[in-house]
Amino acid sequence: MKLPVFKKIKVDIFLILSFIIPFAIYMATLAPSVTFFDSGEFLTATASLGSAHSPGYPLFLMYAKPFTWLPLGNIAFRINVATAVSSSLACLVVYILTTTLLKKETLLGDERFNLVAVKFAGLAAALSFAVTPRLWLQSNHDKPYPLLAFIAAIIFYMLLKWQGHYREGSERPSYIYVCTFLAGLAMGVHQTIVLLLPAWFLMIVLTDWRMITRFKELVLATAFAMFGFSVHLYLPLRALTNPLLNWGDSKSLSQFLWHFLRKGYPSEPPVRDIALLWAQISAFNVPREFTWLGAALTLLGLVYLWRRDRTVFVAYFVSIAAFLLVIVGYFNTHKEVVFLTEEFFTPLYLLTAVMIGIGLFCLLGYAIRTAKLPDRIGVSVYAVVVAFFFTLPSALCAVNYFENDQHNNYIAFDYASNSLRSLQQNAIMFTWGDSGAFPLWYLQGVERMREDVDLPHTPHLVFDWYLDSMPRVFKESNLRKFEITSFGPETLLRIAISENFGLRPVYIDFSTRYSVEFKDFRPVQRGIVYRMRRMDEPPGIPDVTVWDNYNIRGIMEKQSFLDLDTGKAIMIYANSYLEIGEFLVGTNRYQEAKVMLEKAEQILPEMRAPADQIRLRYGLGR
């Protein structure tokens, strides 16, 4: 009897390393729980299979949901792992793209050396991309952009495979169908995927322009795109079940379109001057991500592509042009939020990393030709080649590690839990800023902390779907009688406070305290939140014992990771300590006041001047 012969599977260790090394770095620096910005909202939407802010992000939520079943850490940590995986997959495809574009290149007569050099170039490109500040920042907590970059890279790879078959005389339109399906599917991650369509279209047309004249293939490509886009059916289907977080409540077609088309974010574009235009353009910044050496290697890689594969060369620049024309030209973002648009360019940085890998390979070829090495290469040459390829990713890792290390970042978690600890039983607290509200949503909705409390988000009071989502607060509210869209959130907040005052303890957060002017109510400090009292009743004595129950991990030390909202949270703590310190001085509780003022200074050195003014005013020495 003849035994079956199995084909030997070749394991590409470089391919495995292009995933394993980035994943190890991300896990070492992964945030242990909720962070600021959209984190708490994404976590809550994922855990409940609900809907995140417009346009809903259905594919990202479905991708991350299975990670919530992992038997490690809390739900936030598990979903953060999902992002680390998607980022590592994006790095893996950088390796695949780089080696695919270099697969026919030779440096010497030593075939083994040529193969290893190509793989080194691919791995160096993958690792360089992995440790860029932009991708690393997105990989330590829940973000959809790495998943989008991964899908975009797969589409580029499929187009390269289709090109290769076409140039060998074999037409494979199935590759195009897969690409259109993935493009439609990627709309469920982030809509900026459409900005890559011109580049992909040109890659197809410059390779075989007849593709756009074939009716059957066009129809099939469109059908596959719509099939991928059908992932958005998730939004109305899940809305029918009224999940915990049901942003937009897309039960009807009109509400789905409102959600998908981002109608909830109207804004007046700013008057653009040169400074604003430059800030918007420089949101895409290759030297900042890869250093000037990386930028030079990118140019070298582009020179190579101009000579060997101009379709990819054209696609790269068309992608950049499309992103800048829409994000800069059409969006015209306000200067204070330009930093948010930096996340959109992640797919472009992925392509740039591929160019860097090609540039490194070209530079190695030049060095070998100049050195006139023998055809057979020894171990010492391999050692030099390893050092040559991995100097850039190693330097990037060393420079960016501290700033992206979030493994001890509990600031958002503690800020939200401290806020909840400050509230009386059955309280209601109105929030203002998204970053202050979203961690509260996560702790209450997912970690089930303080479910007796209601947390209305003031900017959302203008939406009927949001009032519907909080029946305990707004079922019988007078807000139901108004055309709420004609009111500003400040007015609706005052009405809501008046309705609940006397029925339950009413609180506001720090952002609300300093964003809205109250005439009928007086905010009285309780830790980092404020209890509302009527102007005609005594304010009472602020409760200072609440501070004893606070966790403030990382607040007193220099932070390795300090984004805008983490910095704001630190400022809130410092300001709150300063405020209670001033109150204690005024009530002759000097020793307690001294401790509070010193803590304000320890948290934020900028508080030294106002703290000294308080001491001087009351004759209190250091």
More confident: 347 or 105: 347
Residues 228 and 163 in one domain: yes
Q: Which of 555, 528, 533 is nearest to 543 (CA)?
A: 528
Q: Per mean pLDDT, which of 67-81, 324-338, 371-385, 582-596 is the most reliable?
A: 67-81
Helices and strands: H and E segment counts in the chain: 27, 4
Residues 6+ apart with CB under 8 A from 317: none
Got the DSSP string for 112-128? HHHHHHHHHHHHHHHHH
pLDDT for 1: 46
Residues in CB range of 292: below 8 A, 6 or more apart: none
> What's the longest Cα–Cα distance across the chain?
102
Whether 72 and 128 share a structural domain: yes
Give the model's pLDDT for residue 491.
87
Domain span at residue 217? 35-404
DSSP state of 330: I
The per-residue pLDDT for 9 is: 59
Q: Chain centroid to CA 152: how far?
A: 17
Residue written as token pair 């129950």: 549
pLDDT value of position 10: 74
Q: How far is CA 209 from the centre of its chain?
A: 37
The confidence score (pLDDT) of residue 536 equals 79
Question: CB of 332 within 8 A of CB of 270?
Answer: yes
Percent of the chain with pLDDT over 90: 52
Would the pLDDT of 560 be above 70? no
Beta bridge partners of 465: none
Q: Mapping DSSP to helix (H, G, I), strand (E, B) and coil, where does residue 396 land?
A: helix
Same domain, residue pair 436 and 388 = no
To 5 degrees, how large is the angle CA 77–CA 78–CA 79?
95
- Tell me the three-class secondary structure of 558-581, residue by residue: CCCCCCHHHHHHHHHHHHHHHHHH
* CB contact set of 262 (below 8 Å; sequence gap of 6+): 54, 55
Establish if 525 belongs to a structural domain: yes
**Would 355 be classed as within a structural domain?**
yes
Short-list 54, 338, 348, CA closest to 191 = 54
486-492: Cβ within 8 A, 24+ apart = 487/462, 488/462, 489/458, 489/459, 489/461, 489/462, 490/458, 490/516, 490/517, 492/458, 492/461, 492/462
Is the pLDDT at 63 greater than 60? The verdict is yes
Domain boundary among 373, 404, 435: 404
- Given this model, what pLDDT does residue 108 score? 60
One domain, residues 471 and 379: no
Given pLDDT bands bounded at 50, 70 and 90, which one contains residue 373? low
User: Is residue 27 one of the residues assigned to a domain?
Assistant: no
Confidence bin at 197 (pLDDT 50/70/90): very high
Task: Label residue 564 by pLDDT band (50, 70, 90).
Answer: confident
Q: 263 and 193 in one domain?
A: yes
Other CB atoms within 10 Å distance of the CB of residue 254: 10
Q: What percent of the chain has pLDDT over 70?
A: 94
Neighbours of 308 (CB within 10 A): 14
Domain count across the chain: 2
14 located within any domain: no
Mean pLDDT of 83-96: 97
Which residue has tokens 């390829």? 389
Has residue 9 been placed in a domain?
Answer: no
Instruction: Please check whether residues 75 and 45 belong to one and the same domain.
Output: yes
528, 603: one domain: yes
Residues 443, 505: one domain?
A: yes
Q: Are residues 120 and 269 in the same domain?
A: yes
Same domain? For 273 and 328 the reply is: yes
Angle CA(324)–CA(328)–CA(329) in degrees, nearest 5? 95
Identify whether residues 88 and 197 lie together within a single domain.
Answer: yes
* Segment (H or E) for 159: helix 145-167
> Is residue 432 pLDDT above 60, yes or no?
yes
How many whole angstroms separate alpha carbon 76 and alpha carbon 443?
A: 10
Where a domain ends, among 404, 426, 441? 404
Residue 225 has pLDDT above 90, yes or no: yes
Instruction: Give a yes or no: residue 30 inside a domain.
Output: no
Residues 452, 309 within the same domain: no
Domain boundary among 404, 421, 448: 404
Residue 442 placed within a domain: yes
Query: Residue 2: its pLDDT value, please?
Result: 52
Q: Which residue has the higher pLDDT, 110 or 456?
A: 456
Residue reference for tokens 């289907």: 237
The answer to whether residue 29 sits within a structural domain is no
pLDDT at 23: 97
Give the chain's mean pLDDT.
88
Listed in sequence order, the residues at least 6 apart from 98 whose beta carbon sits closer than 8 Å to its beta carbon are 121, 122, 125, 126, 353, 354, 357, 358
> What pLDDT does 196 receive?
95
